[in-house]
Amino acid sequence: MTYAIETEHLRYRVGKAFEISALDLRVPTGSIYGFLGPNGSGKTTTIRLILGLLQPVSGRITVLGRPMPAQYARILRHIGYVPEQPHLDATMTVRELLDFQAAFYAQWDRPRAEELVQRFELDPGRLFGRLSKGQKAKVMILLALAQRGELLVLDEPTDGLDPVVRRDILSALLTYVSERGATILISSHLVHELERVCDWIAVMDNGRLITESPMDKIKHGTKRLVVTGAPAEIGNPPFQLLTRESANGAGEYWVVGNWEPDMTTYVESLGASIRDVIDLDLEEGFVELLRGFRAKERAVRV
Amino acid sequence: MFHGIDPRSPIPLYVQIAERIRLAIATGTLGSAAPLPSVRQLAAELRVNPATIIQAYRDLEAQGFVEIRHGAGTFVRELAPGRRARERSQQAAALVRKLLADARRSGVSLAELHRALEAELGVKTP
């Protein structure tokens, strides 16, 4: 497998309060890679490191096969980037922004830009600063797609937008991917939206990567078990025991990762029995992963 | 045809999509030689990863329901006589299994389910 983005032992620090440490990300070429994490977990910082906008303390970043930030000028022309906040000149019209951006990119796709202006129902004569939030988001996506990048890096592109705009933007993105086979890294809080489109998921918390895995594996390997008669100490289970709590007298709830159906025999070998195996969707799985990670962090600190 | 595709369900999306298409073929909504939507079109419409649609179409091809002609698209194949009926009865069995599992989860007994079914059929069919 080749990777569109790869980071190794990446470390970055702002003051004493926040640190990204030992970050190893691998974004497979051609994947739609969902980047999840609570506010302040380091997603935007990581994105800025990947784009060469910040300088790491140590570690390596490879983007589209080239070292970042050493070769940022050669890499950036192949990346469409949509930042969290609108970054475009508010005093330019949509048409002026298109012409301005086109001048920077040799591969600029004029027909696609025109088609998207129509599809998104944008008024080319309107000032960017006068556009609604949804229209601004559409302009930013349009500019990123017309660049014909091999890689799109989207920082919360649809968060806070109404469902109609979100639908239009996602459809345009997916059309682009089916035509060009591009790689997309997309960070978002809209877990259900990522659940539809992504084939890889990474979760960050507090500057660290908690998990990076194919979507199928997360979705089908994360379960809530109802267990009775389990001993207090469980050696080295073949699955990941994320959380464990009492179920009000009816045994315990376990949330497990990397679960396979035949692992029931392992639980039974401990003298316990499984009363139910409940499927979790991505949002529940995400919340449980975070809870499990934070509980371990606390245990280490104490 | 794709109403109610549920990304939160533990059933993978490609399986759900393939199931809907199989049902449409079994009921004749999609006749022999009918074209399926292009991968690009369906991915944008359902807002799912194009790879998911490709996987669904490949599964349908492996099961003999469709034919993928490169560069031309994906088309429903001529089915052997009886296959549509067989497929429909499999779908019916799957629906009943789902109903029974839901009933068990929510604590509805078989007798209660039976009575409800009769009442419902009595009202709905003349």
According to DSSP, the residues that pair with A243 across neighbouring strands are: A255
Domain boundaries, chain A: 3-214, 217-301
Q: Contact at 8 Å (CB) between B56 and B21? A: yes
The pLDDT value given to residue A249: 76
Residue B125 binned pLDDT confidence (cut-offs 50, 70, 90): very low
What type of residue sits at position A13? R
Distances (CA, A) of B98 to A78, A86, A138: 48, 47, 41
Instruction: For residue A69, say if its preceding peptide bond is cis, omega within 30 degrees of 0.
Output: yes
Nearest Cα residue in chain B from A176: B40
Residue B42 at interface with chain A, using a CB cutoff of 8 Å: no
Q: What is the CA radius of gyration of chain A?
A: 22
Looking at the structure, give the CATH architecture of the domain made up of residues A3-214: 3-Layer(aba) Sandwich (3.40)
* Residue-wise pLDDT tens digits, A217-241: 888 889 999 999 888 888 888 998 8
Beta-carbon separation of A196 and B44 below 8 A = no
Tell me the per-residue pLDDT of A2-52, one tens digit each, with 9 for 90 and over.
999 999 999 999 888 889 989 999 999 999 999 999 988 999 999 999 999
DSSP code of residue B65: S
Q: What is the pLDDT of residues B30-83, one digit of tens each?
A: 989 999 999 999 999 999 999 999 999 999 999 999 999 988 999 999 888 788
Q: Is the CB of B50 less than 8 angstroms away from the CB of A196?
A: no
List CB contacts (< 8 A) between B51 and chain A: 199
pLDDT band at B21 (very low <50, low <70, confident <90, very high): very high
| pLDDT for residue A127 is more than 80 | yes
For the segment A284-297, the average pLDDT, to the nearest whole number, is: 88
For the entire predicted model, the pTM comes to 0.87
Quick one: B119 exposed, middle or buried, by C-beta within 10 A (0-12, 13-18, 19+)? exposed
Spell A176-207 as b/e; 16+ CB within 10 A means b.
bbbeeebbbbbbbebbebbbbbbbbbbbbbbb
| A249-to-A34, A228, A229, A245 alpha-carbon distances in Å | 38, 10, 11, 11
Given CB atoms, is A167 within the 8 Å cutoff of chain B? yes
Reported confidence tier of residue A116, pLDDT bands at 50, 70, 90:
very high
Q: Exposed e or buried b for every residue in B46-77, given b needs 16+ CB within 10 A?
A: bbbbbbbbbbbbebbeeeebbeeeeeeebbbe
* B43:A199 CB<8 A: no
**In sequence order, which ranges of chain A are alpha helices (DSSP H)?**
43-50, 72-76, 94-102, 110-119, 133-146, 163-180, 191-197, 215-221, 264-269, 282-301
Contacting residues for A13 by C-beta, under 8 A, at least 6 apart:
A19, A20, A57
